[in-house]
Structure 1
Amino acid sequence: MSSLTQPATAFRHTAADGYSLGGFCWRHAQPNPLRPLVIINAATSVRCRYYARFADYLFAHGCDVLTYDYRGIGESRPPSLRGFQASWSDWGRLDFEAMLAHAAQAFPGQPVDVVGHSFGGCAVGLAPSAGQVRRVVMVGAQFAYWRDYAADQRWRLFGKWHLVMPLLTRAFGYFPGKRLGWMEDTPAGVVHDWTTRTPRYEHRPSGRRLQGVPFAQVRGATLAISLTDDPFGTVAATERLLGYLQGAERQHLRIAPVDISVEKIGHFAFFHDRFRGSLWPIALAWLQQGGLPEEVPGTVIK
């Protein structure tokens, strides 16, 4: 991370079940109870290092920032994933919850905001202490219901993620995504959650074990950003997740590449440095003010 304007500091925090999680922190030298702390929740099986430049941007604009890896991934990976127990719900109710506990200990009194990418948006609502979060920005957030995939790519994605992925997971005891160049290696329980073909999160394997209604505790003002060329984050997928957040103020901003004069953005590129001047200020404005900038690209979905 030497290319960043502000070096990040590695940290570890132990979740309630004793599992040690690793991540990185961008922290200003002088404490300020008014300064927001932003926690970045990664997409499924994407290392937290992927978000380092975006975290550095938030730091440069007055935020303290935490990035971290869910159990089984990156800085939080065990020696072997074969037989390792982890699920989507564990990533939210234990791992993101651990980051909220770390925030309370290390950044006492500071407002806590969250940026959640893909499943990282769902993880917000799975933590018991999610009511502590002041503001949320979700990017491409959904929980992979296959009928919500973009129509022109639905069957290709279904074959890749709902047929090939579970078959390889059964053979290896985890999903060997890294050697395929698809993503990081992934625990079998996460794959089981992802590939279960139900439109309700509480009907996913680990969702059935949750106590209470998932996402109901979220109260923070929430902005969902979806991209028109993201085959996962369609309007249907985004609205399906937002439908759970009945206790939060919600806005859905849909952006097309042409709105910012580029050819493509897709599911991952929002966090690429080339969008520092076009997309990142939208997220920053929401985190700082709880609203959209006056001159915002895209369309607000009513």
Structure 2
Amino acid sequence: MREGRVIINPATGVLAQYYHRYAAFLAMHGFDVLTWDYRGIGLSRPADLRGCGYRWQDWGTQDFAAALTFMAGRRGGPLIVVGHSIGGFLPGLAAGAEQIDRLLTIGAQYAWWGDYAPRRRLALLLKWHIAMPVLAALCGYFPGRRLGWLEDLPAGVAHEWAFRRMRFELSHPVAERSEVTRRMASVRADILAVGVSDDELGTPPAIRRTLGYYTGADRTAVLLHPADYGRQSIGHFNLFHDSHARSFWRETLTWLRDGQNPWPDRVTLQARPASDGETGSSPVSGGRHPARY
């Protein structure tokens, strides 16, 4: 008997291969796991990225939707999504997302520059919102691999990231905006959103902004700290390193398998579905450490 079906959604410009060790860990613990590359990335990359026309939102409305259809057709326990960074936001863009039973997000955000950690905001603004679109316009795609800045990106993806506005739906044509928010609100999965105190991208404000769109879901956010795992830093990517197999990875099983929050003393936000009379997210005081950016 399978524990559940898990789809792992990558961060922007990160190969599915980066998550294979975590996927193998989950498979060893009884889960049926799918890893996959967004169009334009890794094994889903065309021979030439120039002129391909791929957009960030396509990763949710088309690519994740296809992954969801595939895994929904398999038997064996609840349907679960693990979403890293943008991978935690994309489920809400897909038709059929109401089928998801449980969602674990890590540093989930959609890259509005105002949510970046204040100490790094200017540098990240120059890198991702000025240099990236300029290079994408000059090259016809963003040459991230050559620069050591993640994988290469289709120009459309780079453009959407660079010019993302404070409200996600404002990046869409007026006629599409209500449908974007309606789809996000249709998600009924229980959501556990993990943040790390030294993550310069997936900061607590960025995570709250993402959760604010999932108004039909029961949402909990937790903030972890490098010191919890005996480390000086973790940042936006390190939780998927196999050095966390006996700590963070094992802790995630409590949520993926049983739907129980393994970090109850780290809760920073809890919100019930709006249909229960709640109109938004409520911050929760307490925990062993305050949030630091």
1:128 aligns with 2:95: yes
Any residues of structure 2 matched to 1:259-298 within 5 Å, and which?
259-293=228-262, 296=263
Cα gap change, 1:222 to 1:297, in 2 (>3 Å): closer
Q: TM-score, normalised by structure 1?
A: 0.85
1:167 aligns with 2:121: no
- Is 1:175–1:187's contact at 8 Å kept on the other side of the alignment? yes
Amino acid at match of 2:114: R
Any residues of structure 2 matched to 1:170-185 within 5 Å, and which?
170-185=137-152
- Is 1:93–1:126's contact at 8 Å kept on the other side of the alignment? yes
Amino acid at match of 1:248: A
1:82 aligns with 2:50: yes
Q: What's the RMSD between the two structures over aligned residues?
A: 1.7
- Separation in 2, partners of 1:148, 1:117: 17
| 1:46-87 C-alpha deviation (Å, 9 max, x unpaired) | 000000000011111110100000110001111100011111
Cα gap change, 1:110 to 1:229, in 2 (>3 Å): same
CA shift at 1:205, angstroms?
4.3
CA shift at 1:275, angstroms?
0.8
Q: In the alignment, which residue of structure 2 is the partner of 1:215?
A: 184
- Is 2:169–2:180's contact at 8 Å kept on the other side of the alignment? no
Unpaired segments of 5 or more residues in structure 2? 269-283, 285-293
CA shift at 1:282, angstroms?
2.7
Q: In the alignment, which residue of structure 1 is the partner of 2:107?
A: 140
Q: TM-score, normalised by structure 2?
A: 0.87
Most deviating of 218-227 and 109-118 = 109-118
- Separation in 2, partners of 1:72, 1:196: 19
CA shift at 1:101, angstroms?
1.3
1:188 aligns with 2:164: no
SS in 2 for 1:152: helix
Amino acid at match of 2:18: Y
SS in 2 for 1:168: helix
Any residues of structure 2 matched to 1:1-302 within 5 Å, and which?
32=1, 35-105=3-73, 107-108=74-75, 110-205=77-172, 209=176, 211-213=179-181, 214-293=183-262, 296=263, 299-301=266-268, 302=284
CA shift at 1:212, angstroms?
4.3
- Separation in 2, partners of 1:292, 1:171: 46
- Is 1:89–1:207's contact at 8 Å kept on the other side of the alignment? no
- Is 1:254–1:298's contact at 8 Å kept on the other side of the alignment? no
Higher helix share: 2
Cα gap change, 1:155 to 1:242, in 2 (>3 Å): same
| 1:171-206 C-alpha deviation (Å, 9 max, x unpaired) | 011101011111111011111111114111111248
- Separation in 1, partners of 2:246, 2:132: 36
How many pairs does the alignment contain? 267
- Separation in 2, partners of 1:109, 1:206: 39
- Is 1:255–1:298's contact at 8 Å kept on the other side of the alignment? no
Cα gap change, 1:152 to 1:298, in 2 (>3 Å): farther
Cα gap change, 1:260 to 1:170, in 2 (>3 Å): same
SS in 1 for 2:246: coil
Amino acid at match of 1:36: G
